[in-house]
A and B are shown apart, each in its own frame.
Chain A
Amino acid sequence: EAGVAQSPRYKIIEKRQSVAFWCNPISGHATLYWYQQILGQGPKLLIQFQNNGVVDDSQLPKDRFSAERLKGVDSTLKIQPAKLEDSAVYLCASSSGASGSQETQYFGPGTRLLVL
Chain B
Amino acid sequence: EDQVTQSPEALRLQEGESSSLNCSYTVSGLRGLFWYRQDPGKGPEFLFTLYSAGEEKEKERLKATLTKKESFLHITAPKPEDSATYLCAVRHFGNEKLTFGTGTRLTIIP
Tell whether, in the assembled complex, residue B102 and residue A101 are in contact, meaning their CB atoms are under 8 Å apart.
no
- Residue in B closest to A43 when the chains form the complex, CB atoms: B100
List the A side residues contacting B98 at CB < 8 Å: 43, 45, 105
Total A-B residue pairs with C-beta atoms closer than 8 Å? 54
A110 at the interface (CB under 8 A from B): yes
Tell whether, in the assembled complex, residue A45 and residue B97 are in contact, meaning their CB atoms are under 8 Å apart.
yes
Tell whether, in the assembled complex, residue B102 and residue A41 are in contact, meaning their CB atoms are under 8 Å apart.
yes
- Bound state CA distance, A104 and B33, in angstroms? 11
Tell whether, in the assembled complex, residue A48 and residue B42 are in contact, meaning their CB atoms are under 8 Å apart.
no
16 extra interchain contacts, Cβ-Cβ under 8 A, other than A43-B44, A104-B49?
A31-B96, A33-B96, A41-B102, A42-B87, A42-B100, A44-B100, A48-B96, A55-B96, A91-B43, A103-B96, A104-B34, A105-B46, A105-B98, A107-B36, A107-B46, A110-B43
- Residue in B closest to A48 when the chains form the complex, CB atoms: B96
What are 28 A-B contacts defined by CB distance under 8 Å? A33-B96, A33-B97, A40-B102, A41-B102, A42-B4, A42-B87, A42-B102, A42-B103, A43-B87, A43-B98, A44-B100, A45-B98, A48-B96, A55-B96, A56-B95, A56-B97, A91-B44, A95-B96, A103-B32, A103-B96, A104-B46, A104-B49, A105-B34, A105-B46, A107-B44, A108-B43, A109-B41, A109-B43
List the B side residues contacting A105 at CB < 8 Å: 34, 46, 98
What distance in Å separates the Cβ of B90 from its nearest Cβ neighbour in chain A?
A: 11
Interface size on A, as a range, is 20 to 34
Tell whether, in the assembled complex, residue A42 and residue B101 are in contact, meaning their CB atoms are under 8 Å apart.
yes
- Bound state CA distance, A101 and B101, in angstroms? 22
List the A side residues contacting B41 at CB < 8 Å: 109, 112
Tell whether, in the assembled complex, residue B44 and residue A101 are in contact, meaning their CB atoms are under 8 Å apart.
no
Tell whether, in the assembled complex, residue B97 and residue A48 are in contact, meaning their CB atoms are under 8 Å apart.
yes
List the B side residues contacting A31 at CB < 8 Å: 96
Tell whether, in the assembled complex, residue A109 and residue B42 are in contact, meaning their CB atoms are under 8 Å apart.
yes
- Residue in B closest to A44 when the chains form the complex, CB atoms: B100
For window 13-42 of A, CB contacts with B under 8 Å fall at: 31, 33, 40-42
